[in-house]
Amino acid sequence: MKYMFILHGDEHEGAEEASPEQVEAVMDGWAAFDREVADAGVFVAGEGLQESSTATTLRISEPDEPMVTDGPFAETKEQLGGFYVLDCADLDEALSWAKKIPLQSGAIEVRPVMDYEAMGYTHISDGRKSNP
């Protein structure tokens, strides 16, 4: 089963006072984790995100009138900083991987990815889904 690891943290915490050596050490930790999940054959996808100030949100309150706003969707102390999708046997394995993610502070939300085929939906080549 695929699990998404949603990384939340304060995107500005420690950024100004970090030396180039400290930044390199942190990035080395991320690279090591990336290699470990790739070598284990569980890596599906993962990316870091640019700062929340670059976000654009489409808010759906009235289906015919979506509203586009700058910035993240909510005022929060922590921001969405990145994600991984890993193919794990079960939640226990997913949590063991989550504990290895080198996030300095914040939270890691672990959530199963929806399995539409298991629900009886099949993907059609043009991207639409059908229920047989």
Q: CATH topology for 2-130?
A: Alpha-Beta Plaits (3.30.70)
Which residues are within 8 A (CB) of 124 and not within 5 positions of it... i.e. 6 or more apart?
A: 130
Q: What is the 8-class DSSP label of residue 114? A: P
Q: Kindly report, residue by residue over 30-61, the tens digit of the pLDDT.
A: 999 999 999 999 999 999 998 888 888 877 77
Band of residue 131 on the pLDDT scale cut at 50, 70, 90: low
Q: Kindly report, residue by residue over 53-72, the tens digit of the pLDDT.
A: 888 887 777 777 877 777 65
- Could you tell me the pTM of the whole model? 0.79
Distance CA 88, CA 20 (A): 35
Place of tokens 């949100």: 57
